[in-house]
Amino acid sequence: MLESSERGGVATQQIRTRDKDSLAQFLGWFSVGLGTAQIAAPKQMCKLVGASGEGAARIVMRLMGAREITQGVGILTRPRPTTWLWSRVAGDGLDLALLGLTAAKNRKARSAFAIANVLAVAVPDVYESLHLSRKQGEPQRGMLVRKAVTINRPRNEVEQAWAGAQELREKMLNVNAQVSFTPAPGSRGTELAVEFVQAPPAGDLGGAVLKLAGKDLATELTDDLRRFKQVVETGEVVRSDSTPAGHLLARQLRQRPAQPIEEAVR
């Protein structure tokens, strides 16, 4: 969590991140992607590794795909997926054995290429599994998110405006967010910072779904703070012809053309 301490007049902040690093996350998504391909297109995947693509080989390919997806989901949803990563290492062993059999049977160069690929991904699997095995203590489920904006007004004015922004304040209360106001250096106004722990349901998987929908809290907060800054500094939420409702990330990818609107939105 956030640890603030004053050392010789300089405030230092440490933001402790969760156990799972980007490599584990990558391996999780890799599993999901590979597994999906294996289930959706077993014939092509069989051909890719030098197998026949008929009968039993196809069924085995699909089963391995189901295994990959299970492992991927496990990695992406657990706060510290040590066991799931070791299961990937075991899966690599199984894949190598199956590919070895295929290579012995069909004698195709593609099988050798596939074996090289499995070996290549086995290295980060083992590395990350060992890395997570060394972790101790309670796993960190959430990530501390900090969003800050500088508003070009004195602190009391910003605080006053905040007191008036009831919807925004309620939202912060609902997610247990810490809100702080500090004067920005050199009369640059006031820094407004919001901190909260983000732990979406179903871990990274849930986080990705929310993010794609533009509904994750971090994104929403960024929008909210930007609009709050606009209101305090300029008195209004700025609208353009393509974004008549003002700044909302969720709408930014599906905009209307920059052309006057038939009916004015107030």
Partner 1 sequence: MRATCWMGRNAVEVENVPDPKILNERDAIVRITSTAICGSDLHLVDGYVPLMKKGDVLGHEFMGEVVEVGKGVGNLSIGDRVVVPFPIACGACNACERQLYSLCENSNPNARLAEKMFGHPTAGIFGYSHLTGGFAGGQSEYARVPFADVGPIKIENGVSDESVLFLSDVFPTGYMGAEMCDISDGDVIAIWGAGPVGQFAAASARMLGAERVFVIDRFEYRLRIAREHTGAETLNYEDVDSVPEALKELTGGRGPDACIEAVGMEAHFYGPLYAYDRIKQAARLETERPFALREAIMSCRPGGIVSVVGVYGGFVDKFPMGALMNKGVSMRTGQCHVQRYLRPLLERIQEGEIDPSFIITHRLPLDDAARGYELFKNKQDDCLKVVLTP
Binding site for partner 1 (CB under 8 A): 150, 152, 188-189, 222-223, 226, 229-230, 233-244, 246-247, 249, 252, 255-262, 264-266
Tell me the Cα Rg of the chain.
Answer: 25
CA 75 to chain CA mean position, Å:
13
Exposure on the CB side of residue 226, measured as CA atoms within 13 A: 12
- Cα dihedral 172, 244, 159, 161 in deg (nearest 10): -120
Instruction: Give the residue with the Cβ less far from partner 1, 14 or 160.
Output: 160
Instruction: Give the residue with the Cβ less far from partner 1, 21 or 236.
Output: 236
Q: Please state the closest distance from residue 244 (CB atom) to partner 1, in A.
A: 7
In whole angstroms, what is the distance from residue 60 CA to residue 43 CA? 11
In whole angstroms, what is the distance from residue 33 CA to residue 45 CA? 13
What 8-state DSSP symbol labels residue 256? P
Q: Please state the closest distance from residue 187 (CB atom) to partner 1, in A.
A: 10
Give burial (CB, 10 Å; 0-12/13-18/19+) of 240: exposed
Q: Please state the closest distance from residue 241 (CB atom) to partner 1, in A.
A: 4
Residues 221, 202: contact at Cβ < 8 Å? Answer: no
Q: Please state the closest distance from residue 201 (CB atom) to partner 1, in A.
A: 24
Instruction: Give the residue with the Cβ less far from partner 1, 203 or 207.
Output: 207
Instruction: Give the residue with the Cβ less far from partner 1, 7 or 266.
Output: 266
In whole angstroms, what is the distance from residue 24 CA to residue 86 CA? 11
Q: Please state the closest distance from residue 11 (CB atom) to partner 1, in A.
A: 22
Q: Please state the closest distance from residue 245 (CB atom) to partner 1, in A.
A: 9
Instruction: Give the residue with the Cβ less far from partner 1, 179 or 249.
Output: 249
Q: Please state the closest distance from residue 254 (CB atom) to partner 1, in A.
A: 10
Instruction: Give the residue with the Cβ less far from partner 1, 133 or 255.
Output: 255
Instruction: Give the residue with the Cβ less far from partner 1, 20 or 226.
Output: 226
Q: Where are the beta strands (DSSP E) in the chain?
A: 3-7, 10-14, 143-151, 178-183, 190-198
In whole angstroms, what is the distance from residue 107 CA to residue 97 CA? 15
Sign of CA dihedral 37, 39, 42, 48: positive
